[in-house]
Amino acid sequence: MNELKLNQADIKRIKEDIRLTTIIGLIFTIALIVITLIIPTILLLFFKPADGFVTRALIVSGTFFLLFLGISWKNFVKYIDLRIGKKINIKTGDYEIEKAKEGFVLKTKSPLKLKLDLWDEMPPLIKNAEPITFEITKLSKTLLYISQDTVNLLEKIENETEKEIQDKFD
């Protein structure tokens, strides 16, 4: 288990992940706020509002803002990882891949007990008998690199996906 500095590819991967989850969380929160405020606003325009209308509206808006902060918590931790600039390199043969509700999970027992989410395309590429090397961020445990030789399986899958998309448009 080694501690290394983040390289440019790792920084780019973390920034893209932060950007994507922030946009999705923001859209989700805005949609909830709009939906919960449309009906009271219509009622305000056509009828006399009940006592405490503004207070209830502020409470609902504040609750949804707290929900957005809860969704964004992992992004804050990933941002801290970017500022620290460190990652952990682990090589282990003591691991197993399991099918979970949302996909596949890589569970390690030594040197650290970790549970990492894998992309659905990864398990066929991983040979269970061979040791595996992976890199994760220090705090958020974001998977940055996974390999059994020198080829990063994350980049391999991304390149294949981009190639499939390009072939569809050609």
Q: Say if CB 118 and CB 104 are below 8 A apart.
A: yes
Is this structure's pTM higher than 0.85? Answer: no
Give the rounded percent of residues in the chain with a pLDDT score beyond 70.
Answer: 98
| Predicted confidence band of residue 35 (pLDDT cuts 50, 70, 90) | confident
- The neighbouring-strand residues paired with 114 are 108
The radius of gyration computed from the CA coordinates of the chain, to the nearest angstrom, equals 22
The whole-angstrom separation of Cα 130 and Cα 4 is 23
Final residue of a domain: which of 85, 102, 121? Answer: 85
The whole-angstrom separation of Cα 167 and Cα 170 is 5
| Predicted confidence band of residue 5 (pLDDT cuts 50, 70, 90) | very high
DSSP designation for 115: E
Residues 68 and 120 placed together within one structural domain of the fold: no
Q: Residue 114 sits in which domain range? A: 87-169
Residues 99 and 80 placed together within one structural domain of the fold: no
The token duo for 118 is 């894998």
Final residue of a domain: which of 39, 56, 85? Answer: 85
Residues 61 and 122 placed together within one structural domain of the fold: no
Q: Say if CB 81 and CB 137 are below 8 A apart.
A: yes
